Structures are given as structure tokens and as C-alpha cells.
């Protein structure tokens, strides 16, 4: 690979359902793999055997963002963690990678996602902007 082919500016945004969320500082933990599960089945002669099958594994990503950003995202976090309305709060969350000209490079869709953990900003005078962390759990991921 030629060094000139490497991206010079990397940006991304998060879409919560139909609502775009502000650009965040960092997303970590976006690891996607498959889980193995034993599935009982029968051979042609009727003997019981277990067949291993693959399927998507549930996962989590952690979003780091300014604590005074996006009321829609904050309301969604409150709905899942404070109100504990997990069923009605599940939404599709999309991580959108952008190039330097803000064109979509890749979209990673996290299906049936919910806010699983919220970490408050550190309270420190003169310590820079207040950044919070939200861990988003999801049932399935796909790359578009």
C-alpha cells in the first residue's frame, strides 16, 4: 500500500434510529466475531448428534462524547438507564465513517441497541471539556 493512499482525516458520526447524533470523540470496542452454538439434530438413521453452527455474537461499543451534546442521545440514555424502559428504548444505532470530504465510507449498523452503562465526566476544575462515556450493547452488527 502506498502511504499516499492512507486516509488523512478520519471522522465519524453516530445515527440513533432516524436522528443524527453529534460527532463524538471516540468509539471503542467495535469488535465483531461469531459465536459457536451446539444445535441438536438427527442423522439419517435417527441417531441424535450435536452440530456446531455459527451465528452473530452480541456485543458492546463505548462512545466518548461531550456531556452537553445531543439531547436526543441523552434522552435515549435516560430512557434505558434511568427509566429502565429497555423494551421501548431499543433502537438501531449506526456508526458512520466519513472521509475528509464528509462522504460516507462505511456504515456499521448495531441492531436492537440500548444504553447499558453511563460513566459521568470527571469533575475537575480546569481539566478540559467534560467528557462522558456510554456503553451501547447490541444484538447484532452488520457492515453496510
Whether residue 101 has pLDDT greater than 70: yes
Give the pLDDT confidence score for residue 31 in this predicted structure: 65
Q: Which of 130, 115, 60, 112 is nearest to 82 (CA)?
A: 115
13-40 average pLDDT score = 72
Q: Which range marks the domain in which residue 117 is found?
A: 3-143
Give the pLDDT confidence score for residue 120 in this predicted structure: 82
- Residues sharing a CB contact under 8 Å with residue 97, sequence separation 6 or more, in sequence order: 10, 11, 12, 104, 105, 106, 107, 108
CA 87/CA 95 separation, integer angstroms: 22
> Model's pTM, two decimal places?
0.71
Give the pLDDT confidence score for residue 24 in this predicted structure: 74
Give the pLDDT confidence score for residue 1 in this predicted structure: 47
CA 142/CA 75 separation, integer angstroms: 25
Contact 54, 38 (CB under 8 A): no
Domain at 67, CATH number: 2.30.110
Give the angle subtended at the CA of 89 by the CAs of 84 and 94, to the nearest 5°. Answer: 135
Residue-wise pLDDT for 31-86, tens only, equals 666 666 677 777 788 777 777 766 656 788 888 888 766 788 888 888 888 877 77
Give the pLDDT confidence score for residue 100 in this predicted structure: 81
Which range, 22-31, 38-47, 135-144, has the best average confidence (pLDDT)?
Answer: 135-144
CA 101/CA 73 separation, integer angstroms: 25
Whether residue 2 has pLDDT greater than 60: no
Please name every residue paired with 98 in a beta bridge, in sequence order, or none if there are none: 11, 104
Number of domains in the chain: 1
CA 119/CA 106 separation, integer angstroms: 28
Amino acid at each position: 500500500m502506498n502511504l499516499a493512499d492512507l486516509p488523512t482525516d478520519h471522522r465519524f458520526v453516530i445515527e440513533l434510529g432516524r436522528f443524527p447524533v453529534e460527532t463524538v470523540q471516540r468509539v471503542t470496542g467495535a469488535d465483531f466475531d461469531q459465536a459457536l452454538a451446539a444445535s441438536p439434530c438427527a442423522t439419517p438413521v435417527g441417531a441424535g448428534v450435536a452440530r456446531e453452527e455459527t451465528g452473530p455474537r452480541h456485543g458492546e461499543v463505548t462512545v466518548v462524547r461531550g456531556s452537553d451534546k445531543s439531547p436526543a442521545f441523552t434522552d435515549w440514555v435516560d430512557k434505558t438507564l434511568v427509566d429502565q424502559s429497555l423494551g421501548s428504548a431499543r433502537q438501531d444505532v449506526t456508526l458512520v465513517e466519513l472521509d475528509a470530504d464528509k462522504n460516507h465510507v462505511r456504515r456499521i449498523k448495531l441492531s436492537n441497541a440500548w444504553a447499558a452503562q453511563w460513566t459521568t465526566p470527571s469533575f475537575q476544575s480546569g481539566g478540559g471539556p467534560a467528557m462522558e462515556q456510554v456503553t451501547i450493547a447490541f444484538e447484532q452488527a452488520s457492515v453496510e
